[in-house]
Structure 1
Amino acid sequence: MVLTKKIAQFKRDVRLTLLKIGISVGYLLLISQSEKLNLTFEGITFSKFIDEQTLQINELRMIQEVKNKSQAYSLKDEELQRLINIQKKKQP
């Protein structure tokens, strides 16, 4: 009941908003696999990079969360974000 009320109060399409979050995470997963980065996505804390009120994703914080889980501290945040943006531009 409470969830239904929150969804009704949300100003945008919740499904589309959640899809955008999933796409960003998916692109980072794709990059991890294609570049053989071996990043760990299991057990990431979504609340560290998704605003609870607006459901907006902070991609830089997402990258940092995944890097921390993966103990991949040597990877550059900006480079991973650049690769995500390249993937986004490839899509129609």
Structure 2
Amino acid sequence: MTGETQTYGEIDARLGNRKWARATGSACSLNQHAMVILCHRFLSDKGLGQYNGRINRKANLLEWESHNLFKTLFQLYRSFDI
């Protein structure tokens, strides 16, 4: 869902093993396609966590997504069969 966040632990619990949280975080740190694979939506259980060394960028992306304009543009983009 647009703008939904989850902790690394919540994601890993859905995958069947809560002990994978650190591995999930490591995989996200290698993500080179941030606007396609939305790792900035994965949070630490203690707060925002890191974002490839750019915590301000993570906070800004989450803030930007919270506005209706982004949601509208995202839905429009998703409606195209690309």
Task: Report TM bin, short chain.
Answer: under 0.3
Which structure: larger Rg? 1
Greater strand proportion: 2
